[in-house]
């Protein structure tokens, strides 16, 4: 079982309505695998509300350091080159090739009642995903994710909320 414990005394912003001193536990049990076909080695792909749009095929990747947006999402949220700011650092693709970005843009990600602002690096290359959510988003929201259980769990208003992979 994977578990992260958040003390409400130490993390009041993450559990505002819980009783002082109560422990909020983020973890996964065998029952969290119900609805998944086991065994599997699937990536964790979810639907998220990005920039006011429900976006499918979003990869949750703990190994990535930056959030990435691919052409389908760029066009889908009607972005134009003038909406982007410069981003000069090179990115390395899954194949080990250097990818040049078109720029970056800050968009809101809404999960339930929580909203987190994220800087997306926009790239013009093929991907089966529309976006990659990486450590900045995971850490800002306090996410614990599991590819085995095909879920993302995070603290919100003193409760554990979850996003199920699709």
Compute the distance between CA of residue 49 and CA of residue 136 in angstroms, rounded to an integer. Answer: 16
List the domain boundaries for the chain: 3-164
Average pLDDT value over all residues in the chain:
85
Q: What is the pLDDT of residues 34-51, one digit of tens each?
A: 889 899 999 999 999 999
How many Cβ atoms are within 10 Å of 34's Cβ, its own excluded? Answer: 9
Question: Which residues are within 8 A (CB) of 152 and not within 5 positions of it... i.e. 6 or more apart?
Answer: 44, 46, 60, 143, 144, 145, 146, 162, 163, 165
**Residue 66: other Cβ atoms inside 10 A:** 17
Cα Rg, the chain, nearest whole Å: 17
Domain 3-164: top CATH class: mainly beta
- What would the pLDDT profile of 17-37 be if each residue is shown by its tens digit? 444 556 788 899 999 998 898
Q: What is the pLDDT of residue 20?
A: 52
Q: Sorting pLDDT into bands at 50, 70 and 90, what band is 7?
A: very low
- Give the DSSP per-residue string, 62-83: TT-SSEEE-HHHHHHTT--GGG
Residue 114 has pLDDT above 50, yes or no: yes
For the full predicted model, state whether its pTM sits above 0.85: no
Residues in the chain: 166
């Amino acid at each position: 079982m994977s578990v992260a414990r958040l003390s409400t005394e130490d993390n009041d912003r993450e559990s505002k309505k819980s009783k002082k001193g109560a422990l909020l536990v983020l973890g996964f049990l065998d029952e969290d695998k119900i609805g998944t076909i086991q065994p599997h080695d699937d990536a964790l792909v979810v639907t998220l509300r990005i920039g006011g749009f429900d976006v499918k095929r979003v990869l949750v990747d703990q190994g990535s350091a930056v959030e990435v947006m691919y052409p389908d999402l760029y066009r889908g949220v009607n972005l134009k080159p003038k909406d982007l700011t410069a981003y000069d650092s090179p990115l390395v693709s899954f194949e080990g090739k250097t990818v040049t970005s078109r720029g970056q843009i800050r968009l809101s990600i809404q999960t339930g009642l929580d909203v987190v602002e994220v800087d997306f690096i926009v790239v013009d290359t093929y991907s089966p995903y529309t976006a990659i959510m990486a450590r900045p988003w995971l850490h800002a929201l306090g996410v614990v994710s599991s590819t085995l259980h095909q879920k993302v769990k995070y603290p919100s208003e003193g409760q554990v909320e979850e996003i199920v992979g699709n």
